[in-house]
Every structure is written in structure tokens, then in C-alpha cells.
Structure 1
């Protein structure tokens, strides 16, 4: 099995939190090497898929960089990459087959976003011999391929399984992990059934929060983006991207009675997440749900329940206390220090209520999903 070294000439991501993709780097080809290096070199980590070329891209980062301790793995990978390694899909599956990791060693964290999921991911790193990764972005392309109907599920499940297993490897800081936790971008919940098909005995967690405080967090964090969106037309390309993140969008936009504002579109991300969780729960997919409001009230109790659900132990409570005391997104573009002191106005709150009233089941801002833990 061979892989292609790619040397980096330039970095080209449009903005820090943009989805990871092959176009993030300008590269030139180097030598070919044995693809097995991705199994033995802990400084190589899976970055993204390149569907057009049917290959996966790994990045090499300095051994001193702990990718489990950064707010967003894909951002740190892009910033600190020293070179890339391109591995064809066929070799990717062959390499993954050599990795001995059991479903029970893996925990998936899904969420609505803006609900403490980055904090929970960081907290899992305080547990014994756990590697918790916050937003490896290899799955974004899979969700988009599925949403656009470009690849059937029978092809995507093995791809998800191989990609996940290749994330479950030792790191320079944790040479012998006993468990791995993977926290996704919010839209990867749409792939929940495929992850369950690939890892039927893995633990799964769902984090969410009330709609009104979710909107307030979005407004404080992304208000400049929403203001810019209000001045732009919704292009077909952007619409397709949004539909992969919020599957309720087409039906909502087709309803002439609904507001079509940036706030309404943003709220459809929240609504689509809750709606998808309900679908997965009704289909029998086991997930333990926890609310942001519970994390705010008693984070220690919530984390104890989540640790137990994941089957991991905590020998050093002080390490957990230290994580819970800091901003888990510090150093990123959406750190608390960068948030604006703004609140949704009356029109925005009216749009929020209109979106919720449009849904036949999710009928209140403090909707509680089945399977939510009781403290």
C-alpha cells in the first residue's frame, strides 16, 4: 500500500471555522511512501476526505501539539500542518481493518451546537486514558455527500467506519488510550443512523439547549455573520449546504406563511437537530441526552452521568474541576472574549417563535427530548 506525500505551498481556508476540505492547502507532490505510516506515526492525523479524487488526506503536525487539547481539531490541524499524506480509499479501508478498537471503546457526542459540547469534549480528556477529539472534520464531507444523494448509504457506512477507526489511535501525549470520544459538528447528527450502523455498541450522547438561549448565544457569537447574510441572496450553492445542515429547510422555505429571515434560517438548524434526534430515538437508536441548562446547574453531576454512560473512569477530580473552570473555546474565533454584548431584538424573537410554531411536535422553546437524563 502506498500513499502520496504532499508538500504545503500555501494555506487557503476562507475563514477559521470553514469546513475542512482538500482545497484548504496549495500543495505539490513529493515522494510516495508506505501508507502504513499512518498507523505507526502518532503525528499523522486524519484531516478530511477528497471525494473528487477518492482519497483521504492526513496532516502531519508537531509532536508537541496535543490535538485533544484544542477547541477544534480541524482548525489546529490546518494551522500547524507541516505536510499532507494522501491515501486512496482502498488503502484507507485496508489500514482501518488493522486497527483493533471495539465499539465499546468509542463514544460519540452529537449536539445542537452552542450547548456546551466543546466543554463536555474537553471534560472527557480529564478521564483516565481517554483521547477526546473536538470536531475532527472528516465527516462533514460525508454528510454533504449523503444530503446531496451523491453516494449511497452502503458506501458511506464503511467510509465512516474506516475514518472513525483511523481517528482512534494513540497520540504522543496518550500512548495507550483505553477509550476515544469524538465530538462532532452539529450537522453530523444527520448521520446518526449511519454511525449506529457502523458502531452499533458505541455510546452516544446528545447535548442541546432551550431555543431562546440558543438564539442568544448565536446572536452573540455570529451576529456579524447574520448581519452580512441579511444583505445577501441565498444562492443555490449556499442553499444546498444549508439543506445538508438543516434538512427541514426546503419544506419551511416552501411554506408562504413563514418568515425567511437569517434568524429563521438559523433557528432551522436548532429545529432540524431536535427533529432528527426525535427520528433517531423513535427508530431505537440509544442516546443519552443532556441539556445545557443541566450543565449550567450541576456540571459535576452531569459529567459523572456522561462518564458512566461512556464507561470511563475519573481518578483525578481536580483535573475535571480545572476543565470546567475555563473557557473551552479559548483561543478560537468564537471564544467568550470575542463575543458581542448583543441580544436578539423583538423581531428576532418573533421569528424564533414562528419557526417553532411551524413544527407539529417541537412546540416550545424549552422542549425536552425523550431520553434526557434526570438529575
Structure 2
């Protein structure tokens, strides 16, 4: 057999394995309760060993050990031990916010992605009923009222992880890369809206109530933010009270509500040419194997299948994309992922020009001069920072500038070992002409709001 035949066989078998894996996960009985919990509780856990984490973080990422311990005064517990617990997810069936305590000595910021570090290092969970969340947040709200939030919205593959690593290396701010809870809230709200649009009955559990109107959703976002702030400020050795939160691309669908939940927050948008984003995703997904990329794309396009998670597919479910060719394929969802996020960003800029965005950064600016771009970003955010300040750790800053920010993770385009140096990819393009034309076709379905993959937002630092 030639190499393409072998690759096709491998791809087909891989697809079967992935499908079986998803079905197995759906059918496997969970070890956790599936009914509403009226009392808060803690329980020791062991993280499940997973090479690939496809779904959003949930309690099912852990195996519970021992018996659960009821917490009668969870507000008092959090005021005393809140620095130990960080918000992880929401369990809509139990109607609880899930927080995790990592193993002793774990540094959750050492990993490029906060959500992944939480999952791997969890030793104990604290589950707080949604109806008690306001009480818990109120107990510590005054202690974090001074926190300045900076939300980074982005398209992905645009240097946003680098920025969070750089921020974390400074003395003026700290950074959290992709806290999963905001995507969990966004996707629950998205599914509710989708059910309503299709005339389907809503699910019979907590998200129906808490996400039923904008005010309760805003309160949920605000309270989750307060708990995140408290953990981050009190557990940080320097107690830095400016916190950058880099969010997943889908969370821009929540941006309007987040602006109301955090009215004094600063916002940033980071993006890159759409074709470059998609090719970067492909290179990381197929481990730089062009043959595997070609075969997989051909097979999935012919079969009209997509195994991408909901938080990638959510943009493609917009009715404006319903007549696009190859609707529902992986290629379709990757392209609508970028186009949808960009259209949201453009709409937010027009709707609230004073709030969205305080800084807009294009990937090329980071490529040309990382330190200069970062200095300009901080200036636009009203933050005083200088690498010459004696309080700055120049070694940490230099490390953030030179290392591959995602090295050692599945999302790294090239560097597979933590600590590897970053280098630009100078290999030839993978995309064929028909893929480029297809991308332009997807863009046209926005009504020319996003005319093409090279579209620039007003005020972009390039």
C-alpha cells in the first residue's frame, strides 16, 4: 500500500476509536450524584488520566474517593480557606458551582492553561449550591472590590497565551489562561437559546432557572468572578490586584453580559488572519503531518462529519451560515469559529466603542516586536509598566519572551517539550486554493461585515 492508503486506513480507524470513545463516555455511569444538592460539600478526588480533554471541565473529570463532607456554613469556610479553592466548573444537574483544591505545593500557573492545570492537580472539590453562591460571594466581596479585571477576548492561535505568560512574569499584574467556567456558562446559555429557537423544552435542572433572564445570569457571572478574584489575590505571593483573564473564543458571545457584570473591567481583543489561524490549528491538531491532514480533511468533508466540541461548533449554528457548502463538516466549523468571533468583535466595537476594546492587537505586532507591543498594550490599559523597573524580574520576562508559550501541550504547533524556545513556522502552506475560496465564501455569509480572512478591526495594533 502507498502512503496515502495507509494514512486513509489509519484515519478511518482513528475516527472509529474517537466515536467509540465519545459513546463510551456518554454511556458510562457517573460516580457523582445527578440530582440537586441543597447543601455544600467537599470530597477528595483523583483526576482521571486523559491524554485528550475534548469536553468542557466537569465533575466527571474526577473519581471521588472516600465520603463527602457536608459544609453547613460555606460562606465562613470560603472566607477562611478561599485561597485554597479555585472555580473549576458548574454542575447543572446538581446545581452547584465546582471549585477545586490542588495537591499541596502545586503551581496552577506553571501550565500554559489554567483549566488543564486545575484538572490534573485537583485533590479535593468544594461544591457550592447555586442558591448559596451569592452568600459566599458577599462574604469576600469587600476584600476584592479593588481588583481591576482585564478580559482578553480572542480568535485563538494569535499570541494570547504568550501575553498571559508575559503578564504573569511582571510585578504589576497576574494572568489566568482560559478559566473554563466562563465557557461552561456560555455553552449552557447557548444550548438554552438553541432549544428555545427550535421549540424544544428546556432541561429540567439548574441552568434553566439561573440563566432564565439576563439579571440572574449577570449575577452568576459576577459572583463567579468574585470567587476567582479572591482565590487569585490571596494565593498570589505578591497579591497583585490587576488580573488578566484570557478567555476562550466562544466566550465573546457572553461579552455583553460580562460588561454589565464587570463594568469597570478593561477589555482586549487579539486576533490573526483567519487562514493563518486555521492552518495553525491544523498543524497542531495533526502534529505537523501534512499527509494525515490531507486524508482526514478529504474523508471528513466527504462524510460531512465533525468531531469538534460544542464550544467550537457554536458559531456555525448561527442561521446565517445554514446555506454554506459542506455545512457541518470540521472545515466548516473551524472557519465559522473565526468568522463568528470576528463578527462579534466588530459588532461590540460599534455598539460600545468606549468599552470594547481598550486595546486591539494583531498577531503581526507580536511577531515584529513582542516587548514593544506589550508595552503599548499596558499603556492603552492605563497600567504603568517598564522592564527597567528594579522590581521586575528580568530573567522571568526574558523567559516569557523567548520560550514557546504553549510548549509541552497538545496545542503547541511545534515545541513538544516544556521550556522549548519559540521559532516562527517558515514551512510551506498546507491550504489548497479551494479551501481559501471556501473561507471567503463563509465570510460572505456575514453580509460583508467580515469581507475576508485578512479583515482588520478599527484601531488594531499591527
Same fold (TM over 0.5): yes
The alpha-carbon deviation at position 356 of structure 1 amounts to 2.2
Indicate how the Cα distance of structure 1 residues 13 and 49 shifts in structure 2: closer, same or farther if over 3 A, else same. Answer: farther
What pairs with 1:1-375 in structure 2 (closer than 5 Å)?
3-8=40-45, 11=48, 15-16=52-53, 18-27=55-64, 29-33=67-71, 34-35=73-74, 36-41=76-81, 42-97=83-138, 98-100=140-142, 101-102=144-145, 105-148=148-191, 149=193, 150=208, 151=211, 152-169=213-230, 170=233, 172-174=235-237, 176-223=239-286, 227=297, 229-230=300-301, 234=305, 242-244=312-314, 246=315, 249-252=318-321, 254-255=322-323, 258-260=325-327, 261-284=329-352, 285-287=355-357, 288-314=359-385, 315=389, 316=392, 318=394, 319-335=396-412, 336-338=414-416, 343-359=430-446, 360-373=448-461
1:301-333, Cα deviation, whole Å (9 max, x unpaired): 211122223343433272333201111112211
Q: Which protein has the larger Cα radius of gyration, Structure 1 or Structure 2?
A: 2
Indicate how the Cα distance of structure 1 residues 231 and 92 shifts in structure 2: closer, same or farther if over 3 A, else same. Answer: farther
Larger CA deviation: 95-104 vs 364-373: 95-104
The alpha-carbon deviation at position 229 of structure 1 amounts to 4.8
Unaligned runs of 5+ in 1: none
Unaligned runs of 5+ in 2: 1-37, 194-207, 287-291, 418-424
Secondary structure of 2:461's counterpart equals: coil
Secondary structure of 2:452's counterpart equals: coil
- Bigger RCO (CA 8 Å, 6+ sep): 1
User: How many matched pairs?
Assistant: 370
TM-score by length of 2: 0.73
TM-score by length of 1: 0.88
Indicate how the Cα distance of structure 1 residues 208 and 171 shifts in structure 2: closer, same or farther if over 3 A, else same. Answer: same
Secondary structure of 1:85's counterpart equals: strand
Q: Tell me how large the CA RMSD over aligned residues is.
A: 2.9
Indicate how the Cα distance of structure 1 residues 73 and 356 shifts in structure 2: closer, same or farther if over 3 A, else same. Answer: same
Distance 2:131 2:371 in 1: 44
Secondary structure of 1:115's counterpart equals: coil
Is this contact kept in 2: 1:129–1:176, CA < 8 A?
Answer: no
1:268-294, Cα deviation, whole Å (9 max, x unpaired): 000001000011111114212110111
Distance 1:231 1:266 in 2: 16
Indicate how the Cα distance of structure 1 residues 99 and 178 shifts in structure 2: closer, same or farther if over 3 A, else same. Answer: same
Secondary structure of 2:356's counterpart equals: coil
Indicate how the Cα distance of structure 1 residues 327 and 356 shifts in structure 2: closer, same or farther if over 3 A, else same. Answer: same
